[in-house]
Amino acid sequence: MSAKTKVMTEGNPAKIIFFFSLPLMAANVLQQVYVMTDTLIISRTLGVDALAAMASADWFSFMMISIVQALTQGFAILVAQDFGAQKLKHLQKTLATSLKLTIIFTILLTIISVLSIQPMLNLQHTPSSIAPIAYEYLYYLFLGVPAFMLFNFGSAILRAFGNAKSPMIAMVVSTIVNIGLDILFVPILGWGVKGAAIATVIAQLLSGLFCIYVIKGVDVIFIKKEDFKREKGLDEELIKLSWPLILQNLTIAIGGIFVTSKVNEFDIAHIAGFTAMNKLFGILELAAIAYGYSMITYIAQNYGAKRNDRLRSGVKASIILGVLTAFMIGVFLILFGNQLIGMFLVGEASVVSEAQFIGYDMLRLFAYLLSILYVLIIIRSILQGFGDTLMPMLSGVAELIARLFFVFVMTRFIGWEALKWSEPAAWIAADIVLIGSLLRILKQIDQKASEI
């Protein structure tokens, strides 16, 4: 077996999951280094208004990029199942069809995202003082959708083969290039937020090209011309896996957009504090995302190989690892979060002081409740590994309902506090949906095992 692949159907589940997750955590840490550096460059060079404009762009950019991630991750589920079952002939068809669909969706998503910028900014009630800045940033970012698609497709396929190290190396390349170009484009050349967007796109393109280069060296891939011919039902199967994930991320993002629209009705201090907190949100979930990617691959490979004996032990190990990690990250952010929030804020002293208080107050609440988020992400990923993308989508709907309830109902009674609690409420709502679904699937697996 090639060194660029890893079979996860043998060995200690907890050990496999943890060590597969480590490179992904490192990649996520690097991503947060970039996000924090990017935000510092923007805020220190362009001021609080530019930082607030980035906040108005955050959820919309998350929505579009998360669609890219959901699409490619859905395709990778079937790739991992084929690989785990060692159905190498069918694997080539799956890869070829995934590539065709990725190209088609890239073209469509690029057009849609660029055309929808202004309507989305209007929907969010983006203040007129920062709307042009947000539009400029999103315009250049969305012209780079093909670069985001290339990187996410490449990294998702590599993870499906059990390769977590190459995506990490790609992220190292991306982070270094991104930070270097940010410094060149924003403060030196004076391109403003446009420069930050262009830097991100170039970095994504280079890291995507690196992933494709690694994929070409995987010895179980031998795609031929005939593999691109349509196989009845395969397109539908891949889209069936991806489409619920896309809807899941869309509903989460739409909820975030409504939260942002409500935040934009407050003053600049609240908007800036909310933005600074959001820039640190990635630190909250960085390990959970790594465990999630690990569990998609672990479950998909073992489910494809019919190693039912390893499924329950893997689920248990991942949840324990997640809760312990959430506790450690939560303690770190409670101790140092206030100082980290303050790093992003520059401007009038009274505004900065109020924004820092608001941002840290939200961050501290999230840190206390972090294990709820970790259970959500891990169980959602486990279900995706089984090929169940419907219940994760419904959990996204539950998140949306909870957020909308707090935004449109609870704000009438408790104002800003409702916006602060809208995120944890969404986590709890999603967990209620997901935990029941996981228990049902595990029960079905136990029944099948007893029948053998």
Concatenate the DSSP letters of all residues of 283-342 into one string: HHHHHHHHHHHHHHHHHHHHHHTT-GGGHHHHHHHHHHHHHHHHHHHHHHHHHHHHHHHH
CA dihedral 235, 97, 152, 192 (to 10 degrees): -90
Give domain status of residue 386, yes or no.
Answer: yes
pLDDT tens for 339-358 read 988 887 767 788 888 999 99
Q: What is the pLDDT of residue 208?
A: 94
Q: Domain for residue 85, yes or no? A: yes
Reported as a pLDDT band with limits 50, 70 and 90, residue 452 is low
Total tally of structural domains belonging to the chain: 1
Residue 191, helix vs strand vs coil: coil
Q: Read off the pLDDT band of 324 (50, 70, 90).
A: very high
Least confident residue range of 60-74, 103-117, 317-331, 343-357:
343-357
Q: What is the pLDDT of residue 1?
A: 42
Alpha-carbon distance of 8 to 62, in angstroms, equals 31
Over residues 86-96, the pLDDT tens digits come to: 899 999 999 99
CA 267-53-261 angle, to 5 degrees, is: 60
Q: What is the pLDDT of residue 4?
A: 63
Of 107, 110, 98, 104, nearest in space to 64 by CA = 110
Tell me, yes or no, whether 7 lies in a domain.
no
Q: How many CA atoms lie within 13 A of 133 on its CB side?
A: 23
pLDDT at residue 41 tops 50: yes
Is residue 224, in this structure, part of any structural domain at all? yes
Q: Model confidence over 365-388: pLDDT tens digits?
A: 999 999 999 999 999 999 999 988
User: What pLDDT is stored for residue 450 in this prediction?
Assistant: 62
* Segment 197-223 mean pLDDT: 92
- In terms of pLDDT, which residue wins out, 190 or 321? 321
d(CA 197, CA 128): 21
| Core vs surface per residue 353-367: b (16+ CB within 10 A) or e | ebbbebbbbbbbbbb
- Which ranges of 47-130 would DSSP assign to H, the alpha helix? 48-85, 88-115, 117-123
pLDDT at 54: 73
Q: Which of 313, 416, 381, 289 is nearest to 21 (CA)?
A: 289
Contact between 348 and 55 (Cβ < 8 Å): no
Domain that holds residue 86: 13-446
State yes or no: pLDDT of 62 exceeds 60.
yes
Q: What are phi and psi of 177, to 5 degrees?
A: -65, -45
pTM: 0.80
Six token digits for residue 134: 């947000």
Cβ atoms of residues 75 and 102 within 8 Å: yes
8 found inside a domain: no
| Percent of the chain surpassing pLDDT 70 | 97
Report if residue 452 sits inside a domain. Answer: no
Q: Is residue 4 part of a domain?
A: no
CA dihedral 84, 88, 89, 90 (to 10 degrees): 20
In degrees and rounded to multiples of 5, residue 440 shows phi and psi of -65, -45
User: Residue 5: inside a domain, yes or no?
Assistant: no
More confident residue, 398 or 58: 398
Average pLDDT over residues 25-52: 76
